[in-house]
Structure 1
Amino acid sequence: MIYTVTMNPALDYVVDLPHFNIGDVNRVENEHIFFGGKGINVACVLKELGFESTCLGFTAGFTGQELQRGLKEELKLMSQMIQVNQGMTRINMKIHSQQETEINGLGPIVEKDDFEKLLQQIKNMNDEDILVLSGSVPSSLSQNVYCDLLEVIANRKIKTIVDATGQLLLDTLIYHPFLIKPNNHELAELFHTEIKNIEDIEKYARKLQDMGARNVLISMAKDGALLIDENGVKHLQGVCRGEVKNSVGAGDSMVAGFIAGYLSRLDYHETLKLATAAGGATAFSNGLATQAKIYELLKQL
């Protein structure tokens, strides 16, 4: 089984309007509500690619109840989300106008007993399972929580995937995650440097591998993606052709594509192609990638 952990899921309220003017009344042309969170996005795209997963994480309040309902009834995902007593599942507003603007909520207050329940869920995983840790952590939790989760399965055969930024990601490398997926800008921030070319990207990707990551996937927007696989082999892949409509969830879709490729026993080059097509399918859609769109784009690669 694949388990995706979304510590701080959200109801994403997405609006389209021709011009967003600060200080004025803005009337939207289109609006949608999505059940959001990086791990949830991964689970959705995995389902499109034929792989079931179980969503873990925390919800709270009436928004949390709605998110739990949506996961089961609308997205048809398996869920073992933990409903906590304080705070509320956040509402994130995403404004599509001249530029994309996001306003993100705080999230629930997760107490020690709540976190212990999640730890127990992780302990109950089987050795051949896959654990995906992705996204931010509620402010009520320590920034070491990913390490706390990885510690309880450190001597197991569970494959772990970490899609996070900054120190949250770096701290997990001692646990040798099977895959990490920073983008090129996040890669530069990790090493407090300026990245000028593909050689720099490869250099710092290999540093992350030296620090403990098995596979390092770097998404580079219009420049494609670079993978340093666990054997040290470099793979480069250009982007698919299409009109970019949405940047939300493209990276999560890449993670899902990589997992699906690996579980389908594709080699790493073909796995990178599937990951790239999945990321592009989301970028070229108003929502997350569909199976049909992924395989349409895969033919380009």
Structure 2
Amino acid sequence: MIYSITLNPALDHIIETDGFNIGETNYYSQDYTVIGGKGINVSIVLNSLKANVLSTGIMGEKNKNPFIQKFDEVNLKNKFFFFDGNTRTNFKIKNLNKNEETEINGIGIIKELKLLNDLKDFLSSNLEKDDIVIASGSLPNGVPTNIYKEIGDICNSKEATFILDTSKIQMIEGIKSKPFLIKPNIEEICEILNIPFKEYNFSEIEKMIMELKTMGAKNVLLSMGSKGSYFFSENGDKYKVGIAKGKLVNSVGSGDSMIAGFAYGLYKKLDIIKTLKYGAAAGGATAFTQWLAQKEDIEPLIETISVEKI
């Protein structure tokens, strides 16, 4: 069983315009709303791949319907804990003429901290040995920054595999639980290690990865955007992973899809080469679609991904 946790979901309101200028009156041709949140994205992609996945976390009671409707539509198992209020809304303005996107993201606020205990109790009661737990995304205001560490500790006590995809102080705290996998980019690593964000050579990156492992990470999947990714395994092996070829449509959710593809490889007990290919294929397939990739988008790309042990 795979559990995907989202503590700060969002409704993404996307506005498409042929021109956008700050400080001026702008007009748009089309707008639409999709459900969001990194863990929710992960669970939707895993569900499309036919994994046994349950999406859980915390969200607002007052605007839960778009989430529940989408879960029902794609037949995704879910168990959320609801607070009396609204889930945050993110606004994404796409300037189609310049291929630019401006994001205005809500922070999210949770005052009912009892819900965190409800979620932890749910995990403690249901997790079994070798289950996979994926905790993804930011934290809303009011949630303690050590919540991911607490979730990781529960996973350890149940002998479940913990994957953590977050940043900032919640990653610094969460990594103390020794997650099986983290998926940072260079900027996020610099933030974690409190060093300048700039271009680093591979030798310097290796030293940064070793420091992350010293802090608790077992395996590190380093996202390098259009340059692909690197995987630094627990046993010291290193792999360079290529990217899928296609036309970029929407990069939102691509990193979440990569996590989903990797987790699917673990779930199916695939070897590390095939697991990394699934991750890269899922990330690329989502980048080539308007929302999140489906199984039929992902699988044709798998054998096009290069994976080289270095």
CA–CA distance in 2 between the matches of 1:12 and 1:284? Answer: 18
1:8 aligns with 2:8: yes
1:38 aligns with 2:42: no
Equivalence for 2:79: 80
1:120 aligns with 2:121: yes
CA RMSD of aligned residues (A): 1.7
Aligned length: 299
CA–CA distance in 2 between the matches of 1:15 and 1:199? Answer: 42
Q: Aligned ranges for residues 1-301 of structure 1 at < 5 Å?
A: 1-71=1-71, 73-85=72-84, 87-97=85-95, 98=98, 99-124=100-125, 125-191=127-193, 192-193=195-196, 194-301=198-305
Q: Deviations over 1:160-179 (max 9, x none)?
A: 00000122112222211111
SS at match of 2:51: coil
Contact residue 6 and residue 135 of structure 1 kept, 8 A: yes
SS at match of 1:200: helix
Contact residue 132 and residue 267 of structure 2 kept, 8 A: no
CA–CA distance in 1 between the matches of 2:273 and 2:210? Answer: 17
CA–CA distance in 1 between the matches of 2:15 and 2:303? Answer: 32
SS at match of 2:276: helix
SS at match of 1:63: coil
TM-score by length of 2: 0.91
CA–CA distance in 2 between the matches of 1:76 and 1:15? Answer: 28
Farther-moved stretch of structure 1 (249-258 vs 265-274):
265-274
Q: 1:75 to 1:23 in 2, by over 3 A?
A: farther
CA–CA distance in 2 between the matches of 1:267 and 1:128? Answer: 16
Q: How far has the Cα of 1:119 moved from its partner?
A: 1.3
Contact residue 161 and residue 180 of structure 1 kept, 8 A: yes
Amino acid across the alignment from 2:165: D
Contact residue 4 and residue 54 of structure 1 kept, 8 A: yes
Query: What percent of counterpart residues are identical?
Result: 37
Amino acid across the alignment from 2:77: M
Q: How far has the Cα of 1:153 moved from its partner?
A: 3.8
Contact residue 149 and residue 176 of structure 2 kept, 8 A: no
Q: Deviations over 1:77-127 (max 9, x none)?
A: 111101112x31011111111321111123242423222111111111222
Contact residue 195 and residue 201 of structure 1 kept, 8 A: no
SS at match of 2:66: helix
Farther-moved stretch of structure 1 (57-66 vs 287-296):
57-66
SS at match of 1:222: helix
Contact residue 94 and residue 103 of structure 1 kept, 8 A: yes
Contact residue 12 and residue 35 of structure 2 kept, 8 A: yes
CA–CA distance in 2 between the matches of 1:233 and 1:186? Answer: 22
Amino acid across the alignment from 2:10: A
Contact residue 68 and residue 81 of structure 1 kept, 8 A: no
CA–CA distance in 2 between the matches of 1:14 and 1:285? Answer: 15
Q: Deviations over 1:146-168 (max 9, x none)?
A: 12222334322111000001221
Q: How far has the Cα of 1:282 moved from its partner?
A: 0.9
Amino acid across the alignment from 1:117: D
Amino acid across the alignment from 1:169: M
Contact residue 133 and residue 155 of structure 2 kept, 8 A: no
Amino acid across the alignment from 1:83: F
Q: Deviations over 1:237-267 (max 9, x none)?
A: 1222222221211110000010111222222
Contact residue 12 and residue 35 of structure 1 kept, 8 A: yes
Identify unmatched segments of 5+ residues in structure 1. none
Q: 1:181 to 1:243 in 2, by over 3 A?
A: same
SS at match of 2:20: coil
Q: 1:48 to 1:65 in 2, by over 3 A?
A: closer
SS at match of 2:134: strand
Q: How far has the Cα of 1:50 moved from its partner?
A: 1.7
